[in-house]
Amino acid sequence: MKKLSWFLVLVFAMAMFLAACGGGGGDSGSSEESEDAASNEGWVENITLLTGGEAGVYFPLGVALADVIDANVDGVTATGVSSGASVSNAEQLNNGEAQLALVQNDIAYYGAEGMNMFEETLDNYGGVFTIYNETIQLVTLADSGIESVADLEGKRVAIGDVGSGTEANATQILEAHGLSVDDINAQALDFADASTNLQDGNVDAAFVTAGTPTGAIQELSASADVRIVSLDQDAIDSLMEEYTYYVQEDIPSDAYDNFDSTATTVAVQAMLIASNDIPEDQMQEITSAIFDNLDEIANAHVRGEELSVDTAQDGMSIDLHPGAAAYYDEQ
Ligand code: GLU
């Protein structure tokens, strides 16, 4: 009797040991599992994913992306955090303060080239995928009397958070219409504050570069009649000629409640960038985890539905991270 129970204990212990050895790789094949265990060396264990303000689209999407990574990549903890958005995201990623970030494709390019707002070349990140169009929405209340960009002269205008891509787009759009930031009373506000201040009458208009519907505008339009101001066609043409990543876009009248006309404007694209501090094999696995869990990204915001391997490199403005490139090569 005694011998038998010891034998059973031994068998049980061996079974547990084998299960522990084989269990680390999730649902991947057994030969890959031993490779995974060896290759985890040098991986970045704690990943910070930079998004934007909480009333934008980056925030819900970025939190979902981080959750997918956290749940599906062994030994990695990932967290999505709010931030000032594109320009500061690119800088922080390059400085090693974060490992992944959502940014605009125009801003990622300026950073990689050391152009415009960037004083030096940011050479420590690569592209992972592009996702959806970020529409430059010039929002005002329907009764503000602002019907064109020219009408912004002398007005209080929110131009995005400090370090946002929105701020860069606002500057370029004003210039394409013959104005500069000095011709308006510019206010650096994130989308949520811009929306509240519009509603309270403290600002007259706000630039918002984000996927539609943008939370901050949705909230405003639930309680006030809003107008999205069209850009002049000449200015759109010159913007597209001067800055490669702008495309023309029409905002449909059903984009928001209380918005009953269409508007013509420009858009750039949202993309994910990754620090080169993430080793290639780890980034390949992260990319794979994301594309294996597209439902969760789509559930976070309707724009997340546009993430797809087939279009992931459309509008890609910088070199791919080697791990993302390795993932696409295998498809
Ligand atoms: N594209 C915006 C920016 O970089 C942020 C958009 C968002 O938060 O959804 O300024």
pLDDT confidence of residue 39: 59
Number of domains in the chain: 2
CB 136 within 8 A of CB 107: no
Region for 145 from its dihedrals, namely left if φ exceeds 0, alpha if ψ lies in -120 to 50, beta otherwise: left
Q: Do the domain assignments include residue 191?
A: yes
pLDDT confidence of residue 24: 37
Q: What angle do CA 47, 316, 103 make, to 5 degrees?
A: 45
At which of 223, 249, 269 does a domain end?
Answer: 269
CB 140 within 8 A of CB 229: yes
Based on the fold, state whether residues 174 and 250 are members of the same structural domain. Answer: yes
For 12, the 3-state DSSP assignment is helix
| Prior bond of 252 cis (ω within 30°) | no
Q: Do the domain assignments include residue 214?
A: yes
Q: Do the domain assignments include residue 39?
A: no
Closest CA to 265 of 306, 193, 217: 217
Based on the fold, state whether residues 78 and 199 are members of the same structural domain. Answer: no
Segments in the chain below pLDDT 50: 1-35, 37-38
Q: Do the domain assignments include residue 60?
A: yes
Q: Do the domain assignments include residue 97?
A: yes
- What sign has the CA pseudo-torsion 231, 237, 239, 245? positive
Q: Which atom of ligand 1 is nearest to the CA of 52?
A: 8
Based on the fold, state whether residues 122 and 169 are members of the same structural domain. Answer: no
Q: Using a 6 Å cutoff on CB, does residue 92 contact ligand 1? A: no
Based on the fold, state whether residues 276 and 263 are members of the same structural domain. Answer: no
CB 289 within 8 A of CB 72: yes
Based on the fold, state whether residues 250 and 276 are members of the same structural domain. Answer: no
Site to substitute for ligand 1 among 103, 118, 134, most atoms within 8 A of C-beta:
134
Q: Do the domain assignments include residue 2?
A: no
Cβ count within 10 A of residue 299: 12
Round to whole Å and give the CA distance between 237 and 248: 8
Based on the fold, state whether residues 263 and 170 are members of the same structural domain. Answer: yes
Site to substitute for ligand 1 among 51, 65, 91, 104, most atoms within 8 A of C-beta:
104
Round to whole Å and give the CA distance between 197 and 216: 11
pLDDT confidence of residue 68: 98
Q: Using a 6 Å cutoff on CB, does residue 164 contact ligand 1? A: yes
Q: Quote the distance between the C-alpha of residue 144 and its chain's center.
A: 31
Round to whole Å and give the CA distance between 170 and 104: 14
How far, in Å, are 67, 119, 139, 167 from residue 172 at the CA level? 35, 18, 17, 9
Based on the fold, state whether residues 237 and 296 are members of the same structural domain. Answer: no
- Helix (H) or strand (E) holding 62, with range, is helix 58-72
The span from the first CA to the last CA of the chain, in angstroms, equals 57
pLDDT confidence of residue 41: 85
Based on the fold, state whether residues 91 and 181 are members of the same structural domain. Answer: no
Q: Do the domain assignments include residue 163?
A: yes
Closest CA to 71 of 285, 276, 271: 285
pTM: 0.88
Round to whole Å and give the CA distance between 165 and 80: 19
Q: Do the domain assignments include residue 105?
A: yes
Beta strand 77-81 with 46-50 is parallel
Round to whole Å and give the CA distance between 188 and 201: 16
Q: Which domain holds residue 60?
A: 46-131+271-330
Based on the fold, state whether residues 152 and 118 are members of the same structural domain. Answer: no
| 141: CATH | 3.40.190.10
If you measure from the C-alpha of residue 165 to the centroid of ligand 1, how many angstroms do you get, rounded to a whole number? 6
At which of 218, 249, 269 does a domain end?
Answer: 269
Q: Using a 6 Å cutoff on CB, does residue 146 contact ligand 1? A: no
Round to whole Å and give the CA distance between 246 and 315: 10
Based on the fold, state whether residues 263 and 281 are members of the same structural domain. Answer: no
Q: Using a 6 Å cutoff on CB, does residue 53 contact ligand 1? A: yes
Q: Which atom of ligand 1 is nearest to the CA of 89?
A: 4
pLDDT confidence of residue 16: 42
Based on the fold, state whether residues 276 and 170 are members of the same structural domain. Answer: no
Q: Using a 6 Å cutoff on CB, does residue 83 contact ligand 1? A: no
Q: Using a 6 Å cutoff on CB, does residue 168 contact ligand 1? A: no
Atom 3 in ligand 1: which residue has the minimum CA distance?
A: 165
At which of 245, 269, 293 does a domain end?
Answer: 269
Longest dimension (CA), the chain: 94
Based on the fold, state whether residues 230 and 254 are members of the same structural domain. Answer: yes
How far, in Å, are 55, 186, 300 from residue 194 at the CA level? 10, 11, 23
If you measure from the C-alpha of residue 9 to the centroid of ligand 1, how many angstroms do you get, rounded to a whole number? 58
pLDDT confidence of residue 7: 43
